[in-house]
A and B are shown apart, each in its own frame.
Chain A
Amino acid sequence: MKKIIVYSIVGLATALSGCKKDSDFLDIPPVQVLPSETVFSDPALILSVLGDLYNRQVDFSSLDGGWRTFADFSESFPSENGSDFLVTRSGWGYGEWGTWDYGYIRDLNLFLQRMDATEVSTKITAGDKARFLAEGRFLRANYYFEMVKRMGGVPLIIEPMQYDYKGDPTYLQRPRAKEAEIYDFVISEAEEIKNDLPANLADKSRATKAAALAMESRAALYAGSIAKYGATTPTVSLSTGEVGIAASQANGYYTIALRAANEIIDQSAGTVSLYRALPDLEENFAAIFLDKSSVNQESIFIEDFKAFAGKTHGFTTNDQPYSRSDEGGDAGRLNPSLNLVEQFELLNGTFAPLPIGTSASRIAYNNQEDLFAGRDARLRGTILVPGAYFKSGQLKIKAGEITSAGTIVTTDASGGSLVGTDGPVNGLEFRTQTGFYIRKWLDPQTGSGRRGRGSDVAFIRYRFGEVLLNAAEAAFELGQPAVAAGFMNQVRERAGITTPLTAADINFDRIVHERRVELAFEGHILFDYKRWRIADKVWNGDATSYSDIINNLGKATAKSTQPWGLWPYRVQDGANAGKWIYIETKPSRVTGVNRFQLGNYYSAIGDDIRAANPTIVRQPNQ
C-alpha cells in the first residue's frame, strides 16, 4: 500500500510538472547575456557596448599592436633576430596593410540601429542619446577612413544587412564605392556629428568635437592630395573611380581640410594648444607623449592605458635601452635610423649633415652628445642619441675603440671594456644596431619596462601639432604660403627653431619634411607618402648609400630604402685620446632594399572576398 502511494505521488508529480505551457517553459530570460532592450535602456550599459567598439578601432601604428608597427620604411632598424625580414626583404606583398573588417562595420551599424530606436528615447535623455549616436558614427567614419587609406573605395554599408536564408545572397553584394565617395562620407559624417559631441577635451579617450574635426581635416587633406598628386602616377587609378580622385576636386578638399583645422585652431572645439609645459624643449617634446594630465592640451584623441588595471602595453619593455632595461634582456628593438636623424635641422632652420668628418679625417668630440648639439629639439625629443640619459642613467653606446692610425679595436660581445652595454654590434639583438634608441612613447616611469606591469603611456591618434601641419599643407596647396608659414612656424618654434619660415620658403619639400620629423613614429609615414604618390620614388628599390642620405636632406623624393646607423668609437691614443668619433655604418643585416611598387599603393583585396562578391573590382597594377 505504502508503495502504491509513493508511486502515485511520484507519478502525479511527473505528470503535472509537464503541464506548463510550452511557451512558458521555453521562454526563459537568458542569464548570461543581456538582451538589447535591457542594454539600450541604461547609459552605463550602452557605454560598455561602446567601449568594446572603441577598443576595436584599427590603427596602423599602435602601442598595443606591437613595436613592429612602428618599424619599417627605413626610418628604423629592427634589433630582433626574428624581425630582420623588415630589412632583408626587397619589398612588400600586395596584400600588406590591408583591412577588411565588415564584422566591425556590422556591429557599429547594429549599435546605431538599436540606439536609434524610438523606445530608447523613453529611457535615456536626449543629450545622452545624441552623444552615443554621434560616437558610433564617429567610430564608423574613422574605420571607413582607415579602410579607404589602405584599400581605396570600399562598399559603403551604413545599415546592418540581414540574410534571408533563401539561398541567393546576391542582393547583399555591394560594389565598391568610389574612393572620393568614402572620403565624402567621412567628411559629411564629421560635419553632422560634431555638434552632438562635447566641445571640450575632458575625456580624450572618447570622441569629441575636436576629434571629429581632426579626423575631417586629415581625411580631406588625404583626399585633396590624392586628387592633386594622383596625376603623377596615372596608372594608380581605375577609370570607374574606386581608386583615384579627379584632379578638379583637389581644391575643394583642401578648402575643407583648412576649414576643419581652423575650427580647432580658433578654439571652438575646446581649449587646445601646443604643449609647452617644460622649459627644456627636448624634454618638452618627449613629454607630449607621456603627459596625460590636463596640462596636456595638445593631444586630442588618444588610446588610453592604465597600469595595474588590465590595459597596458609592452612598447617600453620592447624598446627600452638595454642598459636601463627593467626586464633583463628584453629591450632595444626599435632603433631609429641615421636616415631620419639627419633630417633634423640646425636651430637656425637650415639643413646640415651631422659633422662627423670623412673617413680620412674624423672629427673628434669630447662628449658623445656634442655631435647632436644645436639641433631641432625634436631630434633628442624623439630619439635617444649616444650619450643621452634615460631613467637618470647615461646610455652606454660604444661600438669600440679606434687608434689614431685608424685601426678599429672591437669585439662581438657587448658590455665589456671595448663595446658598450647598449651596443652596437652587428646582429646582436636587443641592443641598438644603428647607434640610436627610440624616445617617443618610451615610458620613464619606474617598472614600466617590466613585462608584468607594462606601460600605460597613451597612444595619441590626433594631436594639435598635426592639425597645424594639416592646416599648413592645405593652405600651401590653396596658394596661401604666408598662412602656411604661420602655422608651420608655431610647430617649429616649439621645437626651438629660431629662424621663422617666410612665405617664400614654403614648398612641397618643406611640407613633406616637417611632417616627417614632427610626426615620426606616429603611424603617418606610409599614408603620407602614399597620398603624395612619392612612395615609389622614396622606396625605389635601389640601395641607399651614405652620400644619398646626406646630400639630399629635406628633399621629398630622396630615396631612403635601407636604414643606416652612426656608430660612436672612442679614440685610444694620440692628440684626441679619450674623445669620440663617429663612423657611418650600414648594419650588416640590412641586405634587402625597400621597393614600393605601383601595386602597393592600394592593398590587394583577397581572392576570397572577390570570389564571394564578384562585383568587387580588383586594385590596379596587381
Chain B
Amino acid sequence: MNKYGLFLLGVLAFASCKKDNYDAPSSQLTGRVVYQGEQLGFEQNQVTFELYQSGFGKTGPMGSTFKQDGTLNALLFNGTYKMIVPNGQGPFIWPKTASGAPDSLVINVNGSQSIDINVTPYYMIRNLQINGSSSTVTAKFDLEQIATGADAKEVEEVALFVNKTDFVSNSGDHKMREQKKPASDFPGLTNISLNAEVPSVTPAQNYMFVRVGVKIDGVEDWLYSQVQKITY
C-alpha cells in the first residue's frame, strides 16, 4: 500500500469521529409513593406507571413499574414529563379527569431529582409489630381506613407472608409461608394478629423476610407494609 493509500485511510478513519448521536439520558428521577410522608408498599413489578413526553410525533408511554418499597427510578433526558398510574393499578386512589381517564402529574426533569408522589390509599397499616423466632413469626397491627365516602372500600382479607429472600408478597414464588385471615375475623380492624411458621431452608440461614398485606375488596393489587428482616 502506498503513502496516499495510508493517508486516505487516516482521513476516512478520523472523518467518522464526529459525534453523531445523543448522549445517553443522564438525569435520574427517583420517586416514592407516599401518604402523609409514609411510603406505601406494593408487590414488586406489579403496580404500573407511565411517563409521557410530548412533542416528538406519536404519543406513546414509557411504561414501568414501582418497586416493592413503593419507589420508582428512571433515567431520563431533561424535559417535561407527564406521569400517570393507569386505571385499576395500585391499592390507592389516583386522581381522574372528568372523563374517567387517569389525571396526569407534571414532572419537570432538569438534572437528577427526587419527588414524592402523594396518593390516597384505601387503608394504611398502623402500629405494626413483627416478632420472630426460629420457629414462628407473629405480626400485630391495626388498619386505618383512609378513603371514605364514595371511594371507601371494604377489606377482603389480610395476610402475613414469609420468604427467604427480600422479595415478599402474595405472588406464588414470593412467599414460603403465609397466613391469611378474612375480614370477618377482625371486626373493627384493630388488634389484628397473624402468625406463620418459619420454614427451614437449604442452605440454612438465620434470617427471614416478612411483611403483612391487605387485600381490599375490588382492588387487585395488595397493599403491603415495608419488608422487615427478622434474624434469629
A and B: bona fide binding partners = yes
Binding site for B on A (CB under 8 A): 90, 234-235, 239, 541-543, 561, 591-593, 595, 597-599, 607-608, 610-612, 614, 618, 620-622
B60 in the interface (beta carbon within 8 A) = yes
Name A235's contact: one of B59, B171, B173, B218 (CB within 8 Å). B218
A406 CA to B159 CA, complexed, in Å: 38
B173 touches A90 (CB 8 A): yes
Bound Cα distance from A607 to B58, whole angstroms: 10
Question: Does B87 interact with chain A (Cβ within 8 Å)?
Answer: yes
Is A620 within 8 A of B88, CB to CB? yes
| Identity of the chain B residue whose Cβ is nearest the Cβ of A607 in the assembled complex | B60
Does A595 lie within 8 Å of B171, measured CB to CB?
Answer: yes
- Establish whether residues B58 and A612, one from each chain, have CB atoms under 8 Å apart when the complex forms: yes
Shortest distance from the beta carbon of B213 to any chain A beta carbon, whole Å: 13
> Which of B48, B61, B88 has a CB less than 8 Å from the CB of A598?
B88
Is B163 engaged at the interface, CB distance under 8 Å to the other chain?
no
Q: In the complex, are the beta carbons of A611 and B172 less than 8 A apart?
A: no
* Distance of B63 from chain A, by nearest CB (Å): 8
Contact B220 A593 (CB under 8 A): no
Please pick, from B60, B63, B87, the residue contacting A620 in the complex, using a CB distance under 8 A.
B87
B172 touches A593 (CB 8 A): yes
Q: Give chain B's interface secondary structure class.
A: loop
Kindly name the residue among B48, B88, B170, B172 whose own CB sees the greatest number of chain A CB atoms within 10 A: B172
Q: B60 near A611 (CB under 8 angstroms)?
A: yes
Q: How far is the CA of A610 from the CA of B171 in the complex (A)?
A: 30
Q: Mark B42-58, 1 if CB is under 8 A from A, else 0.
A: 00000010000000001
Report if B80 contacts A (CB, 8 A): no
Smallest Cβ-Cβ distance to B219: which chain A residue: A235
Query: A611 touching B218 by the CB < 8 A rule?
Result: no
In the assembly, what is the distance between CA of A612 and CA of B48, in Å? Answer: 22
Chain A residues closer than 8 Å to B172, beta-carbon distance: 90, 541-543, 561, 592-593, 595
Known: A541-B171, A592-B173. A234 touches B218 (CB 8 A): yes
- B61 x A607 contact (CB < 8 A): yes
B-side contacts of A541, CB under 8 Å: 170-172
29 A-B pairs with CB atoms under 8 Å apart are A90-B171, A90-B172, A90-B173, A235-B88, A235-B218, A235-B220, A239-B100, A541-B170, A541-B172, A542-B172, A543-B172, A561-B172, A593-B172, A598-B88, A598-B220, A599-B88, A607-B60, A607-B61, A607-B63, A611-B58, A611-B59, A611-B60, A614-B59, A620-B88, A621-B87, A621-B89, A621-B220, A622-B86, A622-B89
Judging by beta carbons under 8 Å apart, are A622 and B48 in contact?
A: yes
Residues of A within 8 A of B100 (CB): 239
Cα distance A593–B170 in the bound complex, in angstroms? 11
Q: In the assembled complex, which residues on chain A have CB atoms less than 8 Å from the CB atom of B88?
A: 235, 598-599, 620-622
Q: Which residues of A contact B58 (CB under 8 A)?
A: 611-612
Judging by beta carbons under 8 Å apart, are B89 and A608 in contact? no
Chain B residues near A620: list those with CB within 8 A.
87-88
B153 to chain A, nearest CB (A): 11
Contact count A vs B, C-beta below 8 Å: 48
Question: Which residues 136-183 of B sit at the A interface, judged by CB distance below 8 A?
Answer: 170-173
* Residues on A with beta carbons closer than 8 Å to the beta carbon of B87: 620-621
Are B59 and A608 in contact (CB-based, < 8 A)?
A: no
Docked Cα-Cα span, A591 to B173, in Å, equals 8
Beyond contacts A543-B172, A593-B171: 9 other A-B pairs, Cβ-Cβ < 8 A, are A235-B220, A598-B88, A608-B60, A612-B58, A620-B87, A620-B88, A621-B87, A621-B220, A622-B89
Rounded to whole angstroms, the CA-CA distance of A607 and B63 in the bound complex is 10
In whole angstroms, how far apart are the Cα atoms of A541 and B220 in the complex? 12
* CA of A608 to CA of B78, assembled, Å: 24
> When chains A and B are docked, how far (Å) is the Cα of A614 from the Cα of B101?
13
Mask, B196-221, CB within 8 Å of A = 1, is 00000000000000000000001010
Closest-CB distance, A590 to chain B (whole angstroms) = 11
Nearest residue (CB) in B for A620 is: B88
Q: Mask for B89-110, Cβ within 8 A of A = 1, else 0? A: 1000000000010000000000
Chain A residues closer than 8 Å to B61, beta-carbon distance: 607
Residues of B near A618 (CB, < 8 A) are 86
Give the distance to chain A from B169, nearest Cβ to Cβ, in Å.
10
Closest 3 CB pairs of A and B: A593-B172, A621-B88, A611-B58
B174's closest neighbor in chain A, by CB?
Answer: A90
State the CA gap A239–B96 with chains docked (Å).
Answer: 14
A-chain residues with CB within 8 Å of residue B86 when the two chains form the complex = 618, 622
CA distance A436 to B59 in the complex (A): 50
The chain B residue with its CB closest to the CB of A599 is B88
Q: In the docked arrangement, what's the CA distance between A608 and B172, Å?
A: 32
Cα A611 to Cα B59 in complex, Å, equals: 5
Contacts of A610 in B (CB 8 A): 60
Q: Which residue of A lies closest to B87 (CB)?
A: A620
What residues of B have a CB within 8 angstroms of the CB of A561 in the complex?
Answer: 172
Q: How far is the CA of A248 from the CA of B87 in the complex (A)?
A: 26
The residue in chain B whose Cβ has the minimal distance to the Cβ of A597 is B220
Q: Which residue of A lies closest to B221 (CB)?
A: A597
Enumerate chain B residues within 8 angstroms of A595, measured Cβ to Cβ: 171-172
* CB nearest neighbor in B for A561: B172
State in angstroms the CA–CA spacing of A462 and B180 once bound together.
Answer: 44
CB neighbours of A234 from chain B (8 A): 218
Q: Which residues from chain B contact A592 at a C-beta distance below 8 Å?
A: 172-173
Q: Give Cα A595–Cα B86 distance, bound, in whole angstroms.
A: 20
CB neighbours of B48 from chain A (8 A): 622
Q: What's the Cα separation between A622 and B88 when bound, in Å?
A: 7
On chain A, the residues within 8 Å of B173 by CB distance are 90, 591-593
A272 to B222 Cα, complex, angstroms: 51
Q: B201 CB to closest chain A CB, in angstroms?
A: 15
With both beta carbons as reference points, the residue of chain A lying nearest to B171 in the complex is identified as A90
Q: A598–B220 Cα gap in the complex (Å)? A: 7
- Closest CB of chain A to B112's CB: distance in Å? 27
- Nearest residue (CB) in A for B63 is A607
Bound-state Cα–Cα, A621 to B90, Å: 10
A398 nearest CB across to chain B (Å): 30
How far is A425 from B107 in the complex, measured between Cα atoms in Å? 55
- A235: nearest chain-B partner, CB-CB: B88
Most buried by B among A234, A543, A608, A621: A621
- A596–chain B nearest beta-carbon distance, Å: 11
A179 to B165, CA, bound (A): 43
Q: Which residues from A are CB-within-8-Å of B89?
A: 621-622
Alpha-carbon gap, A543 to B87, bound state (A): 28
Nearest-CB distance from B123 to chain A (Å)? 18
Chain B residues closer than 8 Å to A235, beta-carbon distance: 88, 218, 220
Bound: A593/B173 CA distance, A = 8
Residues of chain B with a CB closer than 8 A to A90's CB: 171-173
Give the distance to chain B from A238, nearest Cβ to Cβ, in Å: 9
Chain B residue with Cβ nearest A236 = B88
CA distance A600 to B217 in the complex (A): 19
Kindly state the separation between the CA atoms of A608 and B63 in the bound complex, as whole angstroms. 13
Interface residues of B in 13-64 (CB under 8 A from A): 48, 58-61, 63
CB distance from A610 to the nearest CB of B (A): 7
**Closest chain A residue, CB of each to CB of B100:** A239
Q: Within the assembled complex, what's the spacing in Å between the Cα atoms of A614 and B86?
A: 16
Of chain A, the residue at the smallest CB distance from B218 is A235
For residue B3, give the distance in angstroms from its CB to the closest CB of chain A: 49
Residues on the A chain within 8 Å of B63, using CB: 607
| Distance to closest chain B CB from A432 (angstroms) | 24
A residues near B218, Cβ cutoff 8 Å: 234-235
Closest residue of B by beta carbon distance from A90 = B172
Bound: A561/B173 CA distance, A: 13
Assembly CA distance A314 to B100 (angstroms): 49
**Could you tell me the distance between the alpha carbons of A234 and B218 in the complex, rounded to whole angstroms?**
8
From B46, which residue of chain A is reached at the shortest CB distance?
A597
CB distance from B97 to the nearest CB of A (A): 13
Distance between B172 CB and nearest chain A CB, rounded to angstroms: 3
